[in-house]
Amino acid sequence: MNSSPTRPALPPDQERRQILDAVVEVCTRDSYRQASVEAVVAEAGITRAAFDRHFTDLEDCFTAHILETRETFLIEVGGAVLQASGWREQMRAAAYAIVRFWQEDERRARMILIEVLSAGPRAQLARDEGMEMMVSLIDQGRQEMPDPELLSRATAEAVAGAIYNQMRVILEQGGIDRGREHVPELMYTVVLPYLGREAALEELEMPPPEEG
């Protein structure tokens, strides 16, 4: 009896890429809570042994995707910040870059804004470490104050958390495609504790930059 032809082994990098693409597909389609290694293996078209060569479990695979996303996020947002001068301008550039980053791939946004909340501590730590850049940038707002010691880094952490939650709600409500419209509100949240209500209100009237 003829046996089925054996599928040729993929190069390790390609195999890993297929698995990471599959975890995104499974988690954004079924949610992380409903996902399983078996579902990822089936979606990727590989064997369980192939999965085990790269990852220890579902959270390990999910975390690897978050780390990839985090690296790209920091490069793109960091690049936008470097092109701006002045704290408010840098924060505004970062806000538009963040929105653009999520709009480019809504599934990527869902993974790190929503599905990560159901994942384990490794995935959430990877996300939190990525947010440290934004916390540090927001915290520079203290240098715009007459007395920087009036606030602590905890303020920046709270502001970053508020913005993260705002972005999550925008995505959950299906408004990520209109994300640019929400940047003035995000900037109001950022500016208020450091420069006061008048400056924060100015952000609500700030026109968006022209898209290139």
AA identity, residue 179: G
Q: Which residue has the tokens 């079924």?
A: 30
Residues of the chain with CATH 1.10.357.10: 59-204
pLDDT of 10: 73
Domain 12-55, CATH homologous superfamily name and number: Homeodomain-like (1.10.10.60)
pLDDT of 2: 44
Packing angle of the helix pair 58-82, 37-44 (nearest 10 deg): 70
Cβ proximity of 193 and 159 under 8 Å: yes
Rounded to whole angstroms, the Cα distance separating 117 from 111 reads 9
Pick from 30, 49, 33: which is nearest to 41 by CA? 49
pLDDT of 195: 97
Cβ proximity of 98 and 168 under 8 Å: no
* Predicted TM-score of the model (pTM): 0.88
Give the chain's residues under pLDDT 70.
Answer: 1-9, 211-212
Domain 59-204, CATH homologous superfamily name and number: Tetracycline Repressor, domain 2 (1.10.357.10)
Query: Based on the number of CB atoms within 10 Å of its own CB, is 121 exposed (0-12), middle (13-18) or buried (19 or more)?
Result: exposed
pLDDT in tens, 166-196: 999 999 998 888 889 999 999 999 999 999 9
Token representation of residue 130: 């990525």
pLDDT of 9: 67
Residues of the chain with CATH 1.10.10.60: 12-55
pLDDT of 174: 86
